Structure 1
Amino acid sequence: MIEQFNFENWSTYSLADIANYHNGYAFKPTDWAEEGTKIIRIEQLNNPDGSYDYFNGNYPSINAIKDGDLIFSWSATLKVVIWKHGPAVLNQHLFRVDEKTGFDKKFIYYVLDYNMDSISGGSHGSTMKHIRRGELSKFKIKIPELFIQNKIAHILSALDSSIEETEKLIKKYHKIRTGMMHDLFTRGVNSDGKLRPCRTQSPDLYKKTSIGWIPNEWSVIPFGNVVNVIDPNPSHRYPNESEDGYPICSTENFFGSDDFDYSKSKKVSEFVYQLQNNRCQFSSLDVIFARKGRLGLARRYGSDKKVFSHTVVIMKPLNNKVDASWLLWLARSNWFLDGISHEMNTNLGVPTLGVEFIKGINIPLCSMDEQAQINRLLDKIAEKIHAFEHELAKLERIKAGLLHDLLTGKVTVTRQEGTEVPHV
């Protein structure tokens, strides 16, 4: 026997009907301490692994947070999370959401998450979002009986678990790659394609230079001697928009490890593209480097045609001394970015990198053969990251579709007698 639960039979409730919303404690800067109970503010919802302030005192139990609690950020940044990062105390402008009898906490989480755009559409202020308790009473939704809430939450939680595991793998391999890049751009590889021993183990393999210790076979050379750096938009003005044509690419479009996202990009005409292409002579292997705002992000040009804003520069190898893939990895390396930051602090002191400034950065240079060996090692781990990122995007698309289908009754949840496995 299969029992079906139709959307038409779901009951209508307001958000205030299904849960109690407890505002956080109004901490003052003088309350902050270096130890005690960690304080959850909006930035901790966005980066729970980041830094915290602490409170070393007494606070109302209603503001205490433990793993599994539901937190709703109702001011400025509108967001809902299930907390999983240990005991804490909630700051003001955040609700602890406690489900009422007959309602599933995780189901409420998905309801709030799914309806966040609609809820925020009625909030106050164009730049500073703000939701009052009264608006929670006015916002109506249809909700099934508790058993179906449990089943829907179970299905979506399983997807969330897969998403979280994929995100952990991406972070893991990014961390591995960061360490590998540091070693490869300070120690390089020998003829067998293996890392050279570090300097403490084999000091005779290294020499001291103006940029630090590097392998004896390497040289130090200004970046502009081996790489052409081009400003694709020297006017620093956005061209006139067009309904059809090519997207404008800026650092805002940089997505994942290697991709661009043009979903919100303005477009320009074929004529504007040809003007910029005539100046830059784009190649699919060109390196697009963020020189303003989000400094240091780097991507290959790729195959899709685009027009660039003044927030990026184009990097092209010169004189057959630099491989295009090695240039991409160099531009992404902490060594290169740390060198830029150091020079900026002493010379420019502004968050925009000029073309001549970039050309003047001294870099370590190894042979083309060694560059190829380095590329092979980094390309291999990049393929793993890229695959995980595509898997993550796929899972998030599936979740978005399933979230809509389950919460609007498009997909009917059923129960088969003698089994706890939900059927969708």
Structure 2
Amino acid sequence: MEVNKISIPKGWRKVSIGECVVEKKKSPIKVDDAANFGLYPFFTSGEAVLQHDSKLIDGENLYLATGGMANIKYFNGEAAYSTDTYVLGTKENICPKFMYYVLLFLKQYIDINYFQGSGLKHLQKKDFKRHEIIIPESKDEQQRIADALSKLDDSLSKTQSLIDKYELIKRGLMQDLLTFGIDSEGNVRSEKTHKFKDSPLGRIPEEWEWVEMSKLMDAIDAQPDHRTPAEVEEGAPYVGISDIDDYGNLIIDKCRRVGRSVVEKQKSIFTVEEGDIIFGKIGTIGKPKMLPILNEDYAISANVIVIKPKENALYLYYTLKSEYVDKEVDLSIHSTSQPAFGMEKIRSLMVKKPLKDEQEVISEIISQFDGFIHQNKLEINKLSSTKQGLLSDLITGKVRI
């Protein structure tokens, strides 16, 4: 926020950061010396907040990184912090939470302009404190701005907590459903109440089979010559594992572009259909993703295998994401000197196969949680965008409360 380029609203004034803050004592505790247990949060230069068994400070304070890159946190209460953390309180006429949002708004500017040095960059405190900002003269107005932004932060925090909760439930459900399955009454099976049998994959429900992956899918090598085609400015997206999110959406801005001839060559081998999956074979191993159906043609990376399910595509997708398949893949990779997972290996993977109706029920239950998680992630993105706009409007005085 460069003050010279911003008009000062009525009732606001121009000040330096140094006029607003009070430096707190330097900590004697190095990051490596943190107890990592105890009642008190332990702030560091990084994102992580650790724990400590004794306190250094109390009240409302701002915790800034002094090395690496800009990082700003706010906390109200008893806490400890590391030697590489710059702790600031505020003057009596300054609302601490408001000052936190000012510095949060300035974070990128601070990082670019006030972190200097060869190697590990360090915060130039004198220059940082000389930086000029505009603030409301009224502490009440500062507080109202902080309260408005805090409400958005609370919403973000609650939504993230929901996502974390759904992720935890989904992980447990996947483990249970892909291990024990679900009976015709809608109950997860148990060896106490249902019949199980031995298999190369451990105990499985009596109704299930164990089969090679080739029974459930066809595997296709999208780039049989295994050569990565040349990148072009105007061309078709060249899609790998990292170019698709967990919900089958293509992250188009991340994609390399390749010539149309690459697409046409792949089209002569296969076409992308709904339910198709890619599975990393070189570099990123595994990490299956559902392929999107788009109006625009795209090519598939030489680093992945294209999987065409023969039965329930979602069940196969969740099976490929399961813990037991992860372990099989990991064991296969580390049993050879070649860090790759080729066509024959994926075809010969042993997997659990319920009856078709049960596959459908299992995949439907898991996909419902995927839907909850996706909706809340969209809400997080929406709230984050709203916060970014409101932060700019309120901290510059463009919008008054």
TM-score interval, normalised by the smaller of the two chains: 0.7 to 0.9
Contact 1:24/1:96, CA 8 A, preserved across alignment: no
Q: Are 1:162 and 2:155 counterparts?
A: yes
The residue that corresponds to 2:391 in the other structure is 403
Q: CA RMSD in A?
A: 3.3
Q: In structure 2, what is the equivalent of residue 420 of structure 1?
A: none
Aligned partners of 1:237 and 1:309 also within 8 Å: no
How far does residue 252 in structure 1 lie from its aligned partner after superposition?
3.8
Q: CA deviation at 1:216?
A: 1.2
Q: d(CA) in 1 for partners of 2:28 and 2:270?
A: 56
User: Contact 1:284 / 1:302 at 8 angstroms: preserved in 2?
Assistant: yes
Q: Distance in 1 between matches of 2:152 and 2:100?
A: 14
1:150 counterpart = 2:151: no
Give the 3 Å change call, closer, same or farther, for CA 160–253 of structure 1 in structure 2. Answer: farther
| Count of matched residue pairs | 388
**Aligned amino acid, residue 119 of structure 1:** I
1:328 is matched by which residue type in structure 2?
Y
Q: What residue is the counterpart of 2:97 in the other structure?
A: 106
Taking the aligned partners of 1:97 and 1:38, their CA distance within structure 2 comes to 16
What is the DSSP-based 3-state SS (H/G/I as helix, E as strand, rest coil) of the residue aligned with 1:76? coil
Counterparts of 1:159 and 1:28 in 2: how far apart (Å)? 31
How far residue 276 of structure 1 moved from its aligned partner, in angstroms, is: 4.0
1:195 corresponds to which letter in structure 2?
A: N
2:44 corresponds to:
41
**1:72 matches 2:64:** yes
- Residue matched to 1:240: 230
1:8 aligned partner: 9
Q: Given the superposition, is the C-alpha separation of residues 127 and 239 from structure 1 closer, same or farther in structure 2, using an over 3 Å criterion?
A: farther
The answer for the alignment partner of 2:326 in structure 1 is 337
1:188 to 174, 177, 181: 181
Query: Are 2:126 and 1:137 equivalent residues in the alignment?
Result: no
| 2:308 equivalent in structure 1 | 316
**CA deviation map 1:136-190 (0-9, x unaligned):** 1343322222232212111111111111111111111111111111111011122
Distance 1:316 1:79, change over 3 A: farther
Partner Cα distance (1:174, 1:353) in 2: 28
Query: What is the distance in 1 between the residues matched to 2:70 and 2:240?
Result: 26
Letter in 2 for 1:114: F
In structure 2, do the counterparts of structure 1 residues 103 and 382 end up closer, same or farther at CA, with 3 Å as the change threshold?
same
CA offset digits 1:32-54 (Å, max 9, x no partner): 557556644355x34x5xxx575
Q: Does the 8 A contact of 2:27 with 2:81 survive in 1?
A: yes
Q: 1:129, CA displacement in angstroms?
A: 4.6
1:378 has 2:378 as partner: no
Question: What amino acid does structure 2 have at the position aligned with 1:17?
Answer: E
Q: Which letter maps to 1:112?
A: L
2: CA distance, partners of 1:384 / 1:18: 43
C-alpha separation between the residues in 2 aligned to 1:234 and 1:25?
60
CA distance in 1, matches of 2:126, 2:303: 43
1:407 deviates by: 2.2
Distance apart, 1:97 and its partner CA: 2.7
Aligned to 1:3: none
Residues 1:115 and 2:116 are matched in the alignment:
no
Query: Identity of aligned pairs, percent?
Result: 26
The answer to whether the Cα contact below 8 Å between 1:185 and 1:335 also exists between their aligned partners in 2 is: no
8 Å CA contact 1:238, 1:309 repeated in 2: yes
Letter in 2 for 1:18: C
Whichever residue aligns with residue 360 of structure 2, its letter is A
Q: Which residue of 1 aligns with 2:279?
A: 289
Matched AA of 1:175 = L
Question: How far off is 1:196 after superposition?
Answer: 3.9
The change in CA–CA distance for 1:386 and 1:235 in structure 2 (over 3 A counts) is same
Distance 2:155 2:23 in 1: 29
Q: Does 1:211 align with 2:221?
A: no
Distance 1:358 1:83 in 2: 50
Q: What SS does the corresponding residue of 2:83 show, helix, strand or coil? A: coil
- The equivalent of 2:20 in structure 1 is 18
Task: Give yes or no for the alignment of 1:267 onto 2:257.
Answer: yes
After superposition, the Cα gap between the structure-2 partners of 1:283 and 1:196, relative to the gap in structure 1 and judged at 3 Å, is: same
User: What one-letter code is carried by the residue in structure 1 that aligns with 2:346?
Assistant: I
- Which of 166, 169, 180 lines up with 1:173 in the alignment? 166
The code of the aligned residue for 1:240 comes to A
Q: Give the Cα separation in 1 of the matches to 2:119 and 2:284.
A: 22
* 8 A contact 1:287–1:327 mirrored in 2: no
Cα separation, 2, equivalents of 1:253 and 1:109: 35
- In 1, the alpha carbon distance for the partners of 2:265 and 2:97 equals 54
Q: TM-score, normalised by structure 1?
A: 0.79
Contact persistence 1:208–1:214 (CA under 8 A): yes
Stretch of structure 1 that moved more, 379-388 or 132-141:
132-141
Q: Partners in 2 of 1:28 and 1:229 — Cα distance?
A: 49
Letter in structure 2 aligned against 1:300:
M
Residue segments in structure 1 that go unaligned for 5+ positions in a row:
1-5, 415-424
Q: Could you say if the C-alpha distance between residues 32 and 158 of structure 1 is closer, same or farther in structure 2, counting changes exceeding 3 Å?
A: closer
